[in-house]
Structure 1
């Protein structure tokens, strides 16, 4: 009986050891690369107000046609111009009309036509902005620099993030007097590109400083500890 108990105890100890999780070390690595942009995206549009909805739409349509023609003349391809949004809504008077429901009075209508424009020749960007503003674009929603082919920069940032995670893991494990084992998992946490400084001045000649784009990546790596 005592021998059977001893054998069962050994078996139980083996099962318990197999079920005990080995040590883990989880680190997060950051990586980034800077790159000069080779394109820009402009978000602009035309807005007009008129007593009737039809008049407001007509005014924006005429002005938008002029802007589109000027963009093409400036060398922007038609495939790089896209209508983002068409809006039409009433503008109410500040005071309400007397009555049981005190219904707000419609004073006029506002129409907005928003465009997204890709400019692949950054040398022409200032001239493009000047041209469209001159020809009727009175809504400017921002300018964003980017890369036509972002994947090489994104991949370089990923490599830098993994290298950073490996470096951190070696430092932490060494400080804890532990040995790094195999990699259990690697998870990419996302990243992105941040534009560099942008200088805008709505004047006859529009100066633009494109700066640099910071393309970043982040990974979480789990190591086994031996």
Structure 2
């Protein structure tokens, strides 16, 4: 997986400048400290796709609609297995049976009557071979899927990239602390505190509707996702 690394640095200083009085919890005396923040960003190419696919069938009776839906879903699930989608990556996400009402208003103000039923069944699948995603989308439609809600992308080894981003953020903060100490004419002392403000490692998924082209695999662009880490370092100075 090719990654492109970019960095964004931010410096957070105490309100009174780099020199501040902070009480020592052990001795009760005041310590002079520099507090700095650093941010590191890593761009990664998504390698896992999550898709919601399903089958919607309408018929005059609920029983007939259910039977037809079950038949199409069985073909769809069999196709997913043939495509190499593991059972652990296939999960039912929704199932609904609902009445279908007459569209025309009945004379005398009577409520609309039921003239059929709709059955929908949807599964959430993960495609771990991202290069096969276009073909998977094409094949599930061919197998009977007539409902695709969207696609979300993620990075399987996101924590590895987050560790890289944290390392960059720490180096960024240390560089800033050294620069501030030098310009202020003080000597940078030992590091006394580190705080990680990165939060979750996985970026928010991107979503779009899948568009199929006749007689070809669905064209899909995964793009890139940015993972960002923020740290805060506290140094003593003399």
**Structure (1 or 2) with the larger CA radius of gyration:** 1
CA distance in 1, matches of 2:209, 2:106: 46
**Equivalent residue for 1:154, pick from 136, 139, 162:** 162
Deviation at 1:175?
A: 5.1
TM-score (norm 1): 0.71
Moved more, 117-126 or 210-219: 210-219
* 1:192 corresponding residue in structure 2: 202
* 2:10 corresponding residue in structure 1: none
**Equivalent residue for 1:48, pick from 57, 60, 74:** 57
**Which ranges in structure 1 are unaligned for 5 or more consecutive residues?**
1-17
**Equivalent residue for 1:85, pick from 76, 94, 101:** 94
Distance 1:176 1:49, change over 3 A: farther
The answer as to whether partners of 2:149 and 2:209 remain within 8 angstroms in 1 is no
Q: Which has the higher helix share?
A: 1
Question: Given the alignment of the two structures, is residue 72 of structure 1 paired with residue 81 of structure 2, yes or no?
Answer: yes
Question: Given the alignment of the two structures, is residue 213 of structure 1 paired with residue 225 of structure 2, yes or no?
Answer: yes
* 2:42 corresponding residue in structure 1: 33
Deviation at 1:36?
A: 3.0
CA distance in 1, matches of 2:101, 2:29: 70
Q: How does 1:103-142 map to 2 (within 5 A)?
A: 106=114, 108-142=116-150
Q: How many residues align?
A: 208
3-state secondary structure, aligned to 1:216: strand
TM-score (norm 2): 0.68
CA distance in 2, matches of 1:21, 1:106: 79
Distance 1:118 1:99, change over 3 A: same
* 2:212 corresponding residue in structure 1: 202
CA distance in 2, matches of 1:176, 1:104: 80
CA distance in 2, matches of 1:192, 1:163: 22
CA distance in 2, matches of 1:93, 1:197: 34
**Which ranges in structure 2 are unaligned for 5 or more consecutive residues?**
1-26
CA distance in 2, matches of 1:99, 1:221: 76
* 1:11 corresponding residue in structure 2: none
